[in-house]
């Protein structure tokens, strides 16, 4: 699948977005493409010998099979140079391709701001499966695109004669009215000989899996070792919601040969919105509004930061840019705009109700110098609301302290659970280890990792401990929360 994961590093501001997709080259075998976008305004810039300023991010990638490393690389990603740090920053991206044999891998990505010597590196783990087989029709992952054009030279973004600029996000704001994507279909010639086949693609509702009218199309293809689908769908009329983009390969008899899908979210324009939904926030008149009463920059900065758990990726990136400017009036306009879009009748009431929950998160889930809304438990609390049940276990002999939260309803899903654990022991910062909610961290080895307190060495390929000693009840609590 085309996976998306937002990264929040442990350095002061560094933020990035990560995604990956898998493909197959007939003469070389399967390979993984990883995409990383660094938010330029969140990195630290230092002056170079030529007088320009530049950021540097240290990146390491590791692919393991069990405990055996199969590929490792460490390198620096440099930002575009800028004249000064008071003007606009540019986001900068990294694309890396790694060829690997068929199999299952544990991918570990580590990033660190090289210009922040005291910053701790941020680590992301992701299970990646390469299961392409010869003489079996298959569809690669669907790569979402920001743009594409004919390639004039071979480069990192070039593939099959086209320069593909990855989107590195599955969130489409009201300004994004085209869903562009690329995918490959393999081995049709070995199965269908020289026969034609059909590629159908459509958008379906994520919850019901029902295809949506007016958001589908098809492409007739000639059988070959690798066929390509590079196209786009107009989503200007697509409403807000959660969706799947689905690609199907079918033969002349309309029999399904292969199918692949990827998840995305859409925040649509509201036509003729009385509350000015489509206005640029800088056009907001904030006279006599609740936002105009917040005149302390430090307080307003803190309030905007606390919106992180309920903000879209675009909003979080945008907020960082506004906070960098520290313009009080613009910050007030942004803050007012954020809440009027969520509560057009009484935006001030929306903020007050949310702030009450922020205060609770800060009181219960803070950790050392980290505000509660910045911790994993605080973020989940603010994003999904208070859990319906919490199972706590802090003193099991064989496990790190942990909590299991259950939600009867989490947004559009039912009966979802979140496992938090505290491997540091001395702090109150419980990390999200595993969840079965869509878009959250899914860790198939969560029981094993929970037990690393008593079994620091073992088979990393185990999903569960080989034995369940007295006092270990995490599996039971996850299955049947108390």
Element holding 7 (H helix, E strand): strand 3-8
Q: Looking at residue 466, what is its pLDDT?
A: 46
**The pair of three-digit structure tokens given for residue 320, joined into one six-digit string:** 């960082």
Q: Would you call 325 helix, strand, or coil by DSSP?
A: helix
* Residue ranges per structural domain of the chain: 1-132, 281-377, 387-479
> What are the backbone angles phi and psi of residue 72, rounded to the nearest 5°?
-145, 140
Give the distance, in angstroms, between the CA of residue 428 and the centroid of all CA atoms in the same chain: 25
**The pair of three-digit structure tokens given for residue 130, joined into one six-digit string:** 């390469």
Q: Looking at residue 102, what is its pLDDT?
A: 93
**The pair of three-digit structure tokens given for residue 15, joined into one six-digit string:** 């933020």
Q: Looking at residue 6, what is its pLDDT?
A: 42
Instruction: Give every residue of the chain whose pLDDT is below 50, as ranges.
Output: 1-12, 270-279, 456-463, 465-471
Q: Looking at residue 454, what is its pLDDT?
A: 57
How many whole angstroms separate alpha carbon 111 and alpha carbon 215? 38
Compute CA distances 386 → 60, 304, 357, 379, 415, whole Å: 37, 21, 9, 11, 14
* Strand ranges of the sheet holding 256-266, from the earlier edge strand across to the other edge: 171-172, 256-266, 241-250, 196-205, 211-222
Classify the phi-psi angles of 361: left when phi > 0, otherwise alpha if psi is within -120 to 50, otherwise beta.
alpha
- Least Cα distance to 478 among 421, 408, 406 occurs for 406
Q: Looking at residue 8, what is its pLDDT?
A: 42
**The pair of three-digit structure tokens given for residue 480, joined into one six-digit string:** 């049947």
- Spell out the CATH class of 1-132: mainly beta
pTM of the model: 0.58
Residues 6+ apart with CB under 8 A from 223: 188, 189, 191, 192, 193, 194, 195, 196, 197
How many whole angstroms separate alpha carbon 383 and alpha carbon 375? 12
pLDDT tens string 338-348: 998 888 889 99
How many whole angstroms separate alpha carbon 278 and alpha carbon 445? 44
How many whole angstroms separate alpha carbon 227 and alpha carbon 230? 10
Q: Looking at residue 472, what is its pLDDT?
A: 56
């Amino acid at each position: 699948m085309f996976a998306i994961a937002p990264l929040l590093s442990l350095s002061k501001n560094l933020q990035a977005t990560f995604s990956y997709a898998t493909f197959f080259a007939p003469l070389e075998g399967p390979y993984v493409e990883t995409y990383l976008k660094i938010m330029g305004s969140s990195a630290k810039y230092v002056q170079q010998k030529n007088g320009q300023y530049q950021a540097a991010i240290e990146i390491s990638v590791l692919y393991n099979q069990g405990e055996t490393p199969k590929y490792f690389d460490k390198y620096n990603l440099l930002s575009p140079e800028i004249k000064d740090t008071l003007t606009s920053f540019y986001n900068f991206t990294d694309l890396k391709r790694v060829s690997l044999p068929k199999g299952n891998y544990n991918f570990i990505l580590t990033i660190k701001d090289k210009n922040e010597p005291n910053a701790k590196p941020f680590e992301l783990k992701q299970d990646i499966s390469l299961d392409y087989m010869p003489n079996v029709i298959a569809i690669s992952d669907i790569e979402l695109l920001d743009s594409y054009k004919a390639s004039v030279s071979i480069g990192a973004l070039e593939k099959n004669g086209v320069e593909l600029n990855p989107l590195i996000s599955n969130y489409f704001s009201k300004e994004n009215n085209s869903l562009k994507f690329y995918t490959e279909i393999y081995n049709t010639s070995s199965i269908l000989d020289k026969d034609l086949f059909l590629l159908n693609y459509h958008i379906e509702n994520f919850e019901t899996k029902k295809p949506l009218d007016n958001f589908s199309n098809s492409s007739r293809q000639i059988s070959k070792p690798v066929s390509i689908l590079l196209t786009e769908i107009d989503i200007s009329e697509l409403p807000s919601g959660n969706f799947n983009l689905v690609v199907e390969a079918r033969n002349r008899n309309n029999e399904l040969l292969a199918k692949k899908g990827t998840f995305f979210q859409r925040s649509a324009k509201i036509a003729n919105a009385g509350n000015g939904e489509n206005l640029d926030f800088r056009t907001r008149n904030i006279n006599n509004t609740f936002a105009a009463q917040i005149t302390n920059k430090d307080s307003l900065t803190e309030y905007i930061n606390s919106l992180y758990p309920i903000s879209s990726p675009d909003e979080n990136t945008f907020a960082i840019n506004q906070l960098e400017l520290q313009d009080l009036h613009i910050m007030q306009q942004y803050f007012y705009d954020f809440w009027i879009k969520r509560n057009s009748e009484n935006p001030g009431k929306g903020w007050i109700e949310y702030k009450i929950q922020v205060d609770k998160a800060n009181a219960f889930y803070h950790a050392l110098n980290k505000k509660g809304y910045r911790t994993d438990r605080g973020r989940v609390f603010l994003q999904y609301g208070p859990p319906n049940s919490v199972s706590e276990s802090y003193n099991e002999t064989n496990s790190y302290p942990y909590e299991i939260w259950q939600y009867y309803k989490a947004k559009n899903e039912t009966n979802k659970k979140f496992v938090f654990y505290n491997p540091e022991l001395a702090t109150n910062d419980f990390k999200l280890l595993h969840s079965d909610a869509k878009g959250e961290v899914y860790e198939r080895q969560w029981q094993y990792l929970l037990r690393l307190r008593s079994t620091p060495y073992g088979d990393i390929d185990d999903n569960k401990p080989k034995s369940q000693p007295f006092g270990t009840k995490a599996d039971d609590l996850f299955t049947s929360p108390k």
